[in-house]
Amino acid sequence: MRSNDDMNTSMGSSMPPQRPRQVLAQPRRSPMLVERDGARCSSEKEYKFVLTTPRPPVLAANAAQALRDAHRWWHKANEMAKCYMLAYMSSVLKHQHSAMETAAEIMQNLANLFGTQNRTAKSQAFRSIMTKTMKEGTSVRQHVLEMMSHLNQIEVLGGTIDPESQITIILQSLPPSFQQFKLNFEMNKRDYTLAELLTELQSAEDLMVQAKSSYAEFGA
């Protein structure tokens, strides 16, 4: 009777030896490269100088080698900067800017485009906060929170309204039922933060609600 060792030896000798699996290393792509229209573009920061450096003039036939090298480097950097900028644009923006010759032109056009949108949004935010008024009987908390949201939007868009003016704008947007509160504010000349003003207005609103309830009970 054959032992297990003999059987294992016999089976092992009848099987062809297994070749070690060969693992092919996958080429790693540099994190500093991006794709645009099938081309690989470098995103090195050294190319950003073309945004602030004027385009060099056409070289004379007998220009020195140093000038030729600087001229060649500027144009190479410009192409790489354009490549990088276009790679991150939407298809619509890419179509608008792909024909521009320099990265500086692309950057200037983007600044004009989105700068106009920013000014428009800022104007709308200012208009919203200056024309918004609280309707009688609605929540003063909700109204002030909406006003604070408009103020925050103006700040995000680069606009500035000093704290005292912010308080004044909110007070002017209140309905006639808060007239006594505004008179007390003017007399006391207290410096409120927006959060403190909200707390005080809510307290005043609670007192007015209680006064109306008491008046209704007394009248009944």
Residue positions counted in the chain: 220
Q: Which residues of 40-69 are buried (b: 16+ CB within 10 A; e: fewer)?
A: ebbbeeebeebbeeeeeeeeeeeeeeeeee
- In this structure, are 37 and 110 located in the same domain? yes
**Higher local confidence (pLDDT), 157 or 133:** 133
Mean pLDDT over 10-36 rounds to: 45
| pTM, two decimal places | 0.48
Mean pLDDT over 49-61 rounds to: 83
- In this structure, are 107 and 140 located in the same domain? no
Answer whether residue 25 is part of any domain: no
- In this structure, are 40 and 107 located in the same domain? yes
Answer whether residue 120 is part of any domain: no
> Could you give the number of structural domains in the chain?
2
Top-confidence range, 22-31, 67-76, 119-128, 162-171: 162-171
| Domain closes at, from 88, 115, 142 | 115
- Domain interval for residue 71: 33-115
Q: How many CB atoms lie within 10 A of CB 122?
A: 16
Res 25: pLDDT: 43
Res 17: pLDDT: 52
CA distances, 123 to each of 159, 169, 173, 208 (Å): 9, 16, 18, 36
- In this structure, are 110 and 154 located in the same domain? no
pLDDT tens-digit map of 183-219 = 998 888 778 899 999 999 999 999 988 887 776 555 5
Res 202: pLDDT: 95
**Higher local confidence (pLDDT), 119 or 82:** 82
Answer whether residue 189 is part of any domain: yes
Confidence of residue 7 (pLDDT cuts 50, 70, 90): very low
Answer whether residue 208 is part of any domain: yes
| Domain closes at, from 56, 88, 115 | 115
- In this structure, are 138 and 111 located in the same domain? no
